[in-house]
Structure 1
Amino acid sequence: MHVWRELSEVPPGFGPSAVTIGNFDGVHRGHLAVLDRTVQAAAAHGWRAVAITFAPHPLAVLHPERAPQPLSTVEHRLELLADTGLDAVLMLPFTAELAQWSPRRFVQEVMADALGAHEVVVGSDTRFGRRNAGDIGTLRELGSELGFSVDEVADRLAADGARRWSSTLARELIASGEVLEAADVLGRPHRVTGVVVHGDHRGRELGFPTANLTTDAIGAVPSDGVYAGWLVRPGENGEPGACSRHDTGERLPAAISVGTNPTFDGEERRVEAYVLGRTDLDLYGERVAVEFVERLRPTLRFDGIESLVDQMNADVARCREVLGVNTPA
């Protein structure tokens, strides 16, 4: 899959193509419905399938105080987009100048002139251009003038049948610790990615050495608690492998803690992961991802070390059950 990070990188004469547009944060199942339709349209006509997306998130430029926590790193987003069968992704740098482009200018210069769009596939809530003035109606009007058709993909509903799959829904579920439900929206476990740094080393002293992620790790962090999940080490490109055909990294079963460690009167909120049964790993300085499969319990304050260790052993046993990992003989 080709990745262009500037409009000028699109080869002259590119096209014809089927094009879609969106932030694609998390590349959730609602996004996949649109992306799959784009790939199918391109294959049916012998065109190329292209997604237009942005980095950073537009709100991070226009209203930083309202910008949501990302659901994925840019690298992970690109890996997930590649898995859909797209031929190319145009990842436009979102700037204050681009935000001022009118819907007509954006469609003319990006979709029609640069990408040679013959069909544009979008979800029902698509908005674009200055002040989000462009919508599906705008696309249809411009398409009739510029020579492309518009295919609207209806919203898909989450498991409860009441809410549509969206990045907002995924974030809400993650924030409340409902990582199983979030995985239903995303189509895979949610992950947080960061560099492993030194912590207080209490886990090692207790026999449960943990990998502590930097506080600027990327990915919406679930509510405080203990989770069963996976620690993913870097693949060949130095990025923790996605749950995809690009996954060349090592995936290790882990018990993940999110919180301030109240038993020791901690103040800093951390994400830390204990790889089950492993005390030999040296992960310091590595960029890793932790994936949240299921919430086991809330964060608790224990009266002493013995009761804490007993609970940690119980957490590890429960993690093995959830992840289907055998207990060592």
Structure 2
Amino acid sequence: MNITYLTPDAEGEVAWPSFDNDKKAVATLGAFDGMHLGHQAVIRRVVELAHRHDAFSVVILFDPRPAFVHGWAARHEGAEPDSAAIDAEALTGIGERLRRMEELGVDHVLVVRYTLAFAAKSYIFFLGRLTGKLGMRTLVLGQDGAFGRNREGDVQHVANLAAATGVFELDIVDDRGPGEVRIPRDFKPEMPAEWGEPADPLAGATKAERRAWSKKHQAKAMRAWSSTNVRYLLAHGRIQDANAILGEPHAIEGVVVHGEERGRTIGFPTANLGTDIEGYIPVDGVYAGWLVDLGTASEQETDAEAGQPAQAGPGESTQSEAAQAQSGTEVVSDAVPEAGTQDQPRRWPAAISIGTKPTFSEKTGLHERVVESYCITDDWIDLYGHKVRVEFAGFLRPQVKFDGPDALVDELKRNVEETRRLTA
């Protein structure tokens, strides 16, 4: 898979690459945050049509998320987020999205840095560039797809333009999932009060009960397969429901740092993540899941030199800075961020604890979070300085205060046994 990083100029123009003039392109576009089943359906259709018509399959990937950029600008007098700002609402980092796209067989991914100037371009202007520069002959969108200035390029407007010009075709994919769900407006994370995986509050509800619940919580209808729904589920500890939409366990990534080491004193040493975490952190609580060792930074650099590229972040590439400077707004790379430094990275079942500090983080605009993972293994594990992936299988219990260390140890032993069951 070929990856091209593009940065719009001050006017929002992008130096789109040119592909083979004798071969056309089937394309889609979006942030694809979470790479859930709806996103996968769209991208699989792109790959399918590209194979059928001997064309390139192309994904135009917006980074950062448009919602993050517009939200930041609204809170900062029209300013855009800089590279240090962390999108704490993003379900997945850019590297994870790229890895999933490669697994689906995409030929080209164009990672476009999403800016306000770029967002101000009309959908007609944008489509003109895609057909003229990329040779796009088919655009694939989900049923609620929309892009361009003020999201004016919805499915109906794009379909009308395709019919009027005859230059490209629009292919619409059913990416909604099994029916609609109700999600409270402006919901906040809420830790479950009970032990065990939380149930859907509307499961088995009558129409009248659903209407009453929606009114009480100012809920809005939304398709089941959506990044917002996944975020809502994770914010309420409903890990298994979220994983069903994602198609695999939700995960976060970070570097292991030294913590207060209190767990070591009671026989439960944990791997603590630092503050720079990629991926959406679920609500506070204790979870069952896995810890995956992705290796040290030096190991990732060694792999990159050997032809196994280290992870590239937003706006970055595994190419040299000189190559980036020479290309101006465009960086081309065949390198896909690897999930680890080994063919089969070390992986353990783990009981995962998430809590919130009173410390405020300027990078995220939220209170700092603490993520600790106790690996269920008889071996001694030293992961300090390693990048790890924490995968979630289910919610075990809320964070509670115990009467003493003995009561805490007894509960941790129960958490370990439940983790063994859920990750078997």
Distance 1:36 1:305, change over 3 A: same
Distance 1:207 1:299, change over 3 A: same
Map Cα deviations across residues 238-269 of structure 1 (whole Å, 9 max, x no partner).
459659xx9743222111011259xxxxx964
1:141 pairs with 157, 160, 175, which one? 160
Q: What TM-score does the superposition give when structure 1 sets the normalisation length?
A: 0.88
Q: Which amino acid aligns with 1:10?
A: P
Q: Which residue matches 1:257? A: 353
| Unmatched segments (≥5 aa) in structure 2 | 7-13, 76-86, 183-222, 296-302, 304-308, 312-336, 358-366
Q: Which amino acid aligns with 1:222?
A: P
Q: Which amino acid aligns with 2:249?
A: P
| Unmatched segments (≥5 aa) in structure 1 | 262-266, 325-329
Q: Which residue matches 1:125? A: 144
Q: Which amino acid aligns with 1:224?
A: D
Q: Which residue matches 2:115? A: 95
Q: Which residue matches 1:59? A: 67
Inter-partner Cα distance in structure 2 for 1:104 and 1:268: 42
Q: Which residue matches 2:212? A: none
- SS of the residue aligned with 1:234? strand
Map Cα deviations across residues 115-161 of structure 1 (whole Å, 9 max, x no partner).
21111110011111111111112222332416111011123324888
Inter-partner Cα distance in structure 1 for 2:144 and 2:240: 26
Residues 230 and 245, structure 2, Cα contact 8 Å, conserved in 1:
yes
Residues 175 and 220, structure 1, Cα contact 8 Å, conserved in 2:
no
Q: Which residue matches 2:5? A: 5
Q: Which moved more, 1:130-139 or 1:305-314?
A: 130-139
Q: Which residue matches 2:90? A: 70
Inter-partner Cα distance in structure 1 for 2:3 and 2:166: 25
Distance 1:268 1:165, change over 3 A: closer
2:43 matches 1:23: no
Alignment of 1:90-239 (within 5 A): 90-109=110-129, 111-144=130-163, 145=165, 147-158=167-178, 163-234=223-294, 236=303, 237-239=309-311
2:419 matches 1:319: yes
2:95 matches 1:79: no
Distance 1:97 1:159, change over 3 A: closer
Inter-partner Cα distance in structure 2 for 1:255 and 1:184: 20
Q: Which residue matches 2:373? A: 273
Residues 241 and 247, structure 1, Cα contact 8 Å, conserved in 2:
no
Q: Which moved more, 1:6-15 or 1:298-307?
A: 6-15
Q: Which amino acid aligns with 2:101?
A: L
- SS of the residue aligned with 1:113? helix
2:54 pairs with 46, 54, 76, which one? 46
Inter-partner Cα distance in structure 2 for 1:2 and 1:301: 51
Distance 1:84 1:268, change over 3 A: closer
Q: Which residue matches 1:305? A: 405
Q: Which moved more, 1:115-124 or 1:67-76?
A: 67-76
Distance 1:223 1:161, change over 3 A: closer
Residues 121 and 150, structure 1, Cα contact 8 Å, conserved in 2:
yes
Map Cα deviations across residues 20-54 of structure 1 (whole Å, 9 max, x no partner).
11110011001111111111111111111111111
2:396 pairs with 290, 296, 299, which one? 296
Q: Which amino acid aligns with 1:221?
A: I
Offset, 1:178: 0.5
Offset, 1:176: 0.5
User: What is the aligned-residue RMSD (CA, Å)?
Assistant: 2.5
Residues 120 and 149, structure 2, Cα contact 8 Å, conserved in 1:
yes
Aligned length: 317
Residues 29 and 62, structure 2, Cα contact 8 Å, conserved in 1:
no
- SS of the residue aligned with 2:153? coil
Offset, 1:184: 0.4
Inter-partner Cα distance in structure 2 for 1:182 and 1:224: 16
Structure possessing the higher relative contact order (Cα contacts under 8 Å, 6 or more residues apart): 2
Inter-partner Cα distance in structure 1 for 2:50 and 2:103: 16
- SS of the residue aligned with 2:237? coil
Q: Which amino acid aligns with 1:270?
A: V
Distance 1:184 1:220, change over 3 A: same
Inter-partner Cα distance in structure 2 for 1:188 and 1:221: 16
Map Cα deviations across residues 166-206 of structure 1 (whole Å, 9 max, x no partner).
10010011100111000001000101111111111011111
Q: Which amino acid aligns with 1:117?
A: M
- SS of the residue aligned with 1:194? strand
